[in-house]
A = this chain, B = another copy of it.
Amino acid sequence: MHEARDSIDQTFGLVPTMGYLHEGHLSLVRRARAENDVCVAWIFVNPTQFTPGEDFERYPRDEDRDTRLLEAEGVDILFVPSVEEIYPPGFSTVVEVRGIITEHLEGQFRPGHFRGVTTVVSKFFHIMQPDRAYFGQKDAQQVAVIKKLVRELDFGIEIVVCPTVREPDGLAMSSRNAYLERSERKAATVLYRALSAAEQLFRQGGRRGGALRTAMTNILATQPQARPDYVSVADPETLDELDLVTGRALASLAVYIGPTRLIDNVVLE
């Protein structure tokens, strides 16, 4: 691959995914195609970013449909490695961004999650040597962690962040939406309604982190099927929780709707 990259003068755009693709993924692919000579996609349900008891085994998979969708979008190269190819026996290397940025929010409820992400992403980057890699703003903390990873380890790759793609009623697209029963699907709109309440308060001049969080919590409380893991107003880069918003802020939340855990966020600016 290295030889191939040296001998041709093309730019590579990488879209790493866990498959079961939706419009959010496809928006990454379109952007990667538009900005690069070669668009590479990856489908790999990475076991090391699931914590024990999570949904690794039952995570939705449909390789045939994914392949058709990616072909239709004009993806040039598609990798679908097995777990054994990525993690051969005895594998024991980890790449880890330490500190608040990975311990807070998702990190608090999914210990080891980001270590799994940064390790597998480092492998993807080495194998593909992309010029740019595309991630969705939906996973805002992942974006912050990967940007820090790339900067601190000098990967020399541009991280391109694409907007969250939403259903008409505001629900952020997610492969895990497939888990939702009909009544849960309806209840799940509460996440974006809570974030919108924070956005509205912010537009009206609300800058206190506590008030912004309360605005979200109050909306979530109206939905009996919603059980929040966290509700946060934090610095978008460091993930430090903010008492007072002086610049940009990331309003984010993780909420169980029935047995399904969903996350969403908006940037206040």
Interface positions of A (Cβ within 8 A of B): 1-2, 5-7, 9, 88, 91-99, 101, 118-119, 122-123, 126-127, 131, 148-149, 152-156
Q: Which residue of B lies closest to A119 (CB)?
A: B153
Between A91, A92, A93, the greatest number of chain B beta carbons within 10 A of the residue's beta carbon is seen for A93
- Within the complex, which residue of B119, B126, B131, B149 is in contact with A155, where a contact is CB–CB below 8 Å? B126
Do A97 and B101 form a contact, CB below 8 Å, given A5-B6, A154-B127? Answer: no
Residue of B nearest to A126 (CB): B154
> Across the interface, do A95 and B153 meet the contact criterion of CB distance under 8 Å?
yes
Copies in the complex: 2
CA distance A153 to B118 in the complex (A): 11
Tell me whether A153 and B9 are in contact in the complex, defined as CB-CB below 8 angstroms, given that A93-B95, A94-B96 are known contacts.
Answer: no
- How many Å from the CB of A81 to the closest CB on chain B? 11
- CB contact between A93 and one of B91, B96, B156 (< 8 Å): that residue: B96
Contacting residues, chain B, for A91 (C-beta < 8 A): 152
**A152 contacts B93, C-beta separation under 8 Å:** yes
Once the chains are docked, how many angstroms separate the CA of A141 from the CA of B94? Answer: 18
Q: Which of B5, B92, B123 contacts A154 (CB 8 A)?
A: B123
Give 8 closest A-B pairs by Cβ, nearest first: A93-B152, A126-B154, A92-B99, A92-B98, A127-B154, A93-B97, A2-B156, A95-B95
A155 to B124, alpha carbons, bound, how many Å?
Answer: 10
Contacts of A5 in B (CB 8 A): 6
Q: How far is the CB of A44 from chain B (nearest CB, A)?
A: 13
Contacts of A2 in B (CB 8 A): 131, 156
> Contacts of A92 on B, CB cut-off 8 Å?
97-99, 101, 148, 152
A98 smallest CB distance to B (angstroms): 4
- When distances are taken between beta carbons in the complex, the residues of chain B under 8 Å from A119 are 153
Q: Which chain B residues lie closer than 8 Å to A99 at the CB level?
A: 92
Shortest Cβ distance from residue A178 to the other chain B in the assembled complex, whole angstroms: 31
A153 touches B123 (CB 8 A): yes
Residues on the B chain within 8 Å of A1, using CB: 156
Complex-state Cα separation, A127 to B153, whole angstroms: 9
**CA gap between A148 and B155 in the complex, in Å:** 19
Interchain residue pairs with CB less than 8 A apart (30) = A1-B156, A2-B131, A2-B156, A5-B6, A6-B6, A7-B9, A88-B152, A92-B97, A92-B98, A92-B101, A92-B152, A93-B96, A93-B97, A93-B98, A93-B118, A93-B149, A93-B152, A93-B153, A94-B95, A94-B96, A94-B98, A95-B95, A95-B96, A95-B153, A119-B153, A123-B153, A123-B154, A126-B154, A126-B156, A127-B156
